[in-house]
Amino acid sequence: MYKVAVIGDNESICGYAALGLETYPVNSAERGKEILRQMVSSDFVIIYITEALAALISEEIERYQDRSRPALILIPGISGNTGMGKRNVKRSVERAVGSDILDLK
């Protein structure tokens, strides 16, 4: 049995607690890294991260990209959508194909 977590600033993530996800309010990059590391070694299989936090700890996130778990998924926070999630999709296309061929959208 695995669990799902949400990390980010408190205002952005407090709603997810009601759905039964585990929320971890984080307000600094160091704390974010620390919590992420702990989560990876325990049984979290999906971790939603707010884009604002992800921007601060991007190299930490990239490290787990090729592992089969956990899945680190970026979500827009309360401060708005930075487009980072979309950029990540684009990046994986570029990685696989060599160039961004899904430009049409």
Partner 1 sequence: MAKLSVNPTRMQLRILKKKLIVAMRGHKLLKDKRDELMRQFLILVRENNVLRQEVENGIRLANASMAIAGNVMQKQVLDVALMLPKQELQIEMEEKNVMSVLIPSYTIKLKTNNTNDIYSYGYAFTSSELDDAIKALSDVFPQMLRLAEVEKSCQLIAAEIEKTRRRVNALEHVIIPQYQETIKYIKMKLDENERGTITRLMKVKDMILAQAHGYNQ
Count other Cβ atoms within 10 Å, centred on residue 2. 10
Min dist CB 36 to partner 1, Å, is: 16
In this complex, which beta carbon is closest to partner 1, that of residue 56 or of residue 75?
75
CB of 72 within 8 A of CB of 58?
A: no
**Contact between 41 and partner 1 per CB under 8 A:** no
How far is the C-alpha of 82 from the C-alpha of 87, rounded, in Å? 9
CA atoms within 13 A on the CB side of 17: 10
Binding-site size for partner 1 (CB under 8 A) equals 39
- Residues lying near partner 1 in the complex (CB under 8 A): 1-4, 11-12, 14-21, 45-46, 48, 65-66, 68-69, 71, 73, 75-78, 81, 85-86, 88-89, 92-93, 95-97, 102, 105
